[in-house]
Structure 1
C-alpha cells in the first residue's frame, strides 16, 4: 500500500538548493524559489541556497563541498540538464556520484510526459548518492521543479511514505565503507 504512515514521525532533512545559470540572480530565480517554498512547506530545512555558472568544474566543486558538509542531507540542483553545449550539470553530478539512482530519471520522465508530452525527452534529470548525501539534478524551469517535488521528491524525502523512502535507508548508505 502506498501512502503516509501517520504513526511515524516526520524527520526534517537539511536540503541545499543549487541553481545553475549564467544569467539568473536570486531575485529572478523562480526554480530555486519554487524548491525552497516546497521544501519548507513540507517541514524540511533549507541548508543553503546558491546560484552558480554553467561550468562543470564549479558545479562539481560546489556539490563536493555540500557532500562533505554534515549539515547537508540532500542537494537539489536546477538548470543545466538539457542538451545544449552549456548544459553540463548532469555530467558534474555524475562526476561525484558513488551510485546513480537510475529510476529517478525514468520516473521524472514519466511525470513530465503527463505534463509536457514528448518534450520530456529533452530532460536529462538525474539522481544519485555520494558519501551518504542524496543529489538530484532537475531542469531549470519552475514547472519542472514543481513537478519533480510534487510527484516524486516530496514522497521519497518523507520518512512516513510507504512502502519505502530514501530517508529510512539514509543510515545505511555508507555501510559498505565501514566493513573491513
Structure 2
C-alpha cells in the first residue's frame, strides 16, 4: 500500500453531512451517523446535518445553501447514487460542481469490486468542488460509506481542503 506524503500539522476540517433517503430519519440513519463518528474521531468538526427526501430540487437547494457558509470546508452526501428512478443525488449535484475529481469515483468503484463484484458499476459516487468546498457523494450503504471514508476520504481530506485554500 502506498502512503501519501504527510500534510504537516493536523487540521480540523469543518464539514456537513447530507443523507438522501426516502425512508431514513436522523434516528435510523446509520450511514450518516457513521460519517459523523469517523470524522469526529479524526478531529473534524460537524457544522450541519440534514436528512432529505430523494428530491433533486431539495438536494440542490441544500447544497446551494451550504455553499453560502464561509466556515464550511466539506460536504459529504450519502444515498441516491444508484440508477433506480428515485436515485437522484448524482443528477442533482453533478451540474453544480465547479470541478470534479473523477479519480474518486473510479477508485471507489475499484475498491468496491472485491466486495460486491460487478454491481460496483452501478454506483455513481462522485466528488468535486462547489464554491470552494470539497463535496463527496457516496452510496447510502454503511459498508460503502465505511469503505469510502477509510480508504479515500479520511486519508486525503486535510490535503484536498488545503489544496482548495491555496491562494
SS in 1 for 2:94: helix
CA offset at residue 22 of structure 1?
1.0
Which runs of structure 2 are paired with 1:36-75 in the superposition (5 Å)? 36-75=36-75
Taking the aligned partners of 1:34 and 1:54, their CA distance within structure 2 comes to 20
Residues 16-63 of structure 1: CA deviation (Å, up to 9, x unaligned):
000001111111000101101110011100111110110001000000
Normalising to structure 2: TM-score of the pair?
A: 0.94
Larger radius of gyration: 1
Q: In 1, distance between residues paired with 2:133 and 2:156?
A: 14
Q: Indicate which of 132, 137, 160 corresponds to 1:166.
A: 160
Equivalence for 2:13: 13
- Alpha carbons of structure 1 residues 3 and 102: separation in structure 2 relative to 1, 3 Å: closer
Report the TM-score, using the length of structure 1 for normalisation.
0.88
Question: Cα distance, 1:85 vs. partner?
Answer: 0.5
8 Å CA contact 1:59–1:92 kept in 2: the answer is yes
SS at match of 2:46: strand
Structure 1 unmatched runs, 5+: 159-164, 176-180
Aligned to 2:133: 133
Partner SS state of residue 27, structure 2: helix
Q: 1:43 to 1:4 in 2, by over 3 A?
A: farther
Unaligned ranges ≥5, structure 2: none
CA distance in 1, matches of 2:109, 2:71: 30
Q: Does the 8 Å CA contact 2:134/2:161 hold for their aligned counterparts?
A: no
Shift of 1:168: 2.5
The answer to whether the 8 Å contact 2:73/2:161 transfers is no
Native 8 Å contact 1:97 1:128 kept in 2:
yes
Report what 2:145 is aligned to.
Answer: 145
Alignment of 1:59-98 (within 5 A): 59-98=59-98
Aligned to 1:2: 3
Could you say which residue in structure 2 is the equivalent of 1:99? 99
SS in structure 2 of the partner of residue 134 of structure 1: strand
Write out the 4+ residue segments of structure 1 that deviate beyond 6 Å after TM superposition: none
